[in-house]
Amino acid sequence: MIGVTSRYYRVGRSVHTGADGRKVLYLARRMPPRPEDVAVQTTVPVAQDTRLDSLAHRFLGDPKQSWRIADANGALDPFELTAEPGRSLRIPRPGG
């Protein structure tokens, strides 16, 4: 079961039927939002030791919500967000 805080919660489910008739349930592709469509509560500068899970815990109340910070910044690779100290990260509003 996919929890309500998962990035896949609102993604549709599909069924693939193989040549042998076996049915396999799978999640449809998740399309991240456009960064400009994400409501932002603040921006923070990246320091040498910045971690997305720490930012998610601090601003969103859950370290597992770091995917929301990646979405707000248009990153498919979350590690690129903290690779450059001094960069400014958009922090989304909680629950959005």
Q: What is the token pair recorded at 7? A: 């990035």
Q: Say whether both 55 and 88 belong to one domain.
A: yes
pTM for the structure as a whole: 0.81
pLDDT 10s digits, 68-91:
999 999 998 999 999 999 999 999
Q: Rg (Cα) of the chain, in Å, rounded?
A: 16
Kindly state the tokens that stand for 67.
């995917």
pLDDT tens for 2-55 read 888 888 888 889 999 999 999 999 988 888 999 999 999 999 999 999 999 999
For residues 43 and 65, membership in a common domain is answered with: yes
Looking at the fold, whether 27 and 39 belong to one and the same domain comes out as no
Distance CA 92, CA 27 (A): 25
Question: For 33-49, b where at least 16 C-beta lie within 10 A, e where not — what string?
Answer: eeeeebeeeeeeebeee
Q: Under DSSP, is residue 40 helix (H, G, I), strand (E, B) or coil?
A: strand
Task: Please give the tally of structural domains in the chain.
Answer: 2
Query: 12 and 55 in one domain?
Result: no
Q: Which domain holds residue 23?
A: 1-31
